[in-house]
Amino acid sequence: MCGIFGVIGPKEPSILEDVYLGLYALQHRGQESAGVAWFDEGGALRLQKGMGLVHAALSQEQLSKERGSCAIGHVRYSTAGESSIINAQPLHATYSKGQVAIAHNGNITNAEMLKRDLESRGAIFQSTTDTEVILHLMAHEQDLPPIDALIKALSKLRGAFSIVALIEGRLVAARDPWGFRPLVIGKRDGVHYVASESCALDIVKATHIRDVNPGEIVIIERGEITSLSIPVKPARRFRCSFEYVYLARPDSEIDGRSVYDVRLKLGQNLAGTCPSPDGEMVLGMPDSGTIGALGYAVASDLPFEMAIVRNRYVGRTFIQPTQRVRQLGVQIKLNPIDKLIRGRNIVVVDDSIVRGTTSQLAVRFLREAGARKIHLRIASPPVRFPCLYGIDTPRSADLAAAAMDTGDLRDFIGADTLCFLKVEDLINSIDLPADELCTACFDGKYLEE
């Protein structure tokens, strides 16, 4: 998951404040650590990193006093490497060609193989994150200029990588040839931005220019954008469908698709596939199930109620690092309104079932609130296969739908009925060609390495 943000423009404190604000807008993509890297007035690379949420990890007051013309930032959600300050990004290095800082969203699937090869040639790794592999690959290309070294390094990677980097006073962004993770470019006056999602451009009042294309390397310097290509020819694209289902904010656009519109259509298609004849009202699991529930209610001609209230001071439970914390997070995050629920047949729409933690606890407290029947409707197909590309579901044993069929899963969760969206309806809702979407977590169709 993770969120990345970059900015380049006039040398002034607002550059660092823009990164701080951009990371705030991307907080939903990572809650474990945050960091900023920038070139100061003397051209030296500076960093500020910390554990926790953006406001706790970074000093807004200190950043507001720093002057810089180019900066990058990162919020982390760990999938490769433990949750610790040593793995907090951006990562930086000094080698024969100068100083480099890099922030990465995704998961490099051949990182361990590359790391073993680099270590055999004398490389010493300072972290356990796959991102560091990129820096070492660059350092081993001492005969090449830094940008060329980066291109060669990226050509050796497989899997998902959207990156922002500081190289020779320039802002560099790149997206893997398969297009797994999103990356967008924005502009405000003479300042250029790169971000994981367009919602981060909105907070700094930047205009969304376009997405970084799969396989594209963008170099921004002195107000000009140069586009280069990673020399890898993919057989097909693998844009992550789960970004639309859960990961992205609904006010973002990814590859020309409004996340809000996609989630609304997911709910509408779900109503056609999984009707509920005796349902009296529809409610959504806050927040990522709410828009799908609204679409379901409209398509079913049922009233939509905000009958579950979310505590806004609790973060996303799915991306907490341990199962125990996830369970506690669900219990303090969501609270039903008994008056709306008691004695009624309710249709509950959620975006997905991954580990089953949230669904099981939610059904339990809806029963305690007096629901007569609970029809659970999921606005995505069953997640049966682990994600290899940047979501922390590395084993099938962790996935509820992989261990149980729909009937057993219904009983485990405690719902009266349970129904999932079909893969073809998911693809139809996103409205991208099937061979441009990654649906591996639903159907096991992975990138062939």
Q: Which residues are known catalytic residues?
A: 2
Crossing angle of the two packed helices 290-300 and 259-273, in degrees rounded to 10: 50
Between the CA of residue 80 and those of 105, 111, 391, what are the distances in Å? 11, 9, 10
* CA distances (Å), origin 191, targets 8, 70, 105, 184, 204: 6, 10, 23, 14, 10
* Structure token pair of residue 370: 């007096």
User: In the structure encoding, which two tokens stand for residue 305, read together?
Assistant: 């109620």
Amino acid 92 reads H
Q: Are 301 and 272 in contact (CB under 8 A)?
A: no
Contact 89, 131 (CB under 8 A): yes
User: 304: which DSSP letter?
Assistant: B
Of all helices (H) and strands (E), which one includes residue 284? strand 281-284
The position carrying tokens 């971000």 is 195
Task: Give the whole-angstrom CA distance, residue 101 versus residue 45.
Answer: 8
Q: Please state, in angstroms and rounded to a whole number, the distance separating the CA atoms of residues 39 and 301.
A: 56
Residue 354 DSSP code: S
Pair 128, 82: CB distance under 8 Å: yes
Any idea what DSSP says for residue 127? -
Count the helices and strands in the chain (H runs, E runs).
17, 23
Report phi then psi at 436, rounded to 5.
-115, 0
**CA 400 – CA 384 distance, rounded (Å):** 8
Query: What single-letter amino acid sits at 258?
Result: S
Q: Yes or no: say if 204 and 193 are a contact pair by the CB < 8 Å rule.
A: yes
* Amino acid letter, residue 61: E
Q: DSSP state, 144? A: S
- Distance CA(403)–CA(385), nearest Å, equals 10
**Region for residue 241 given its phi and psi (left: phi exceeds 0; alpha: psi -120 to 50; beta: otherwise):** alpha
Give SS3 for 250.
Answer: coil
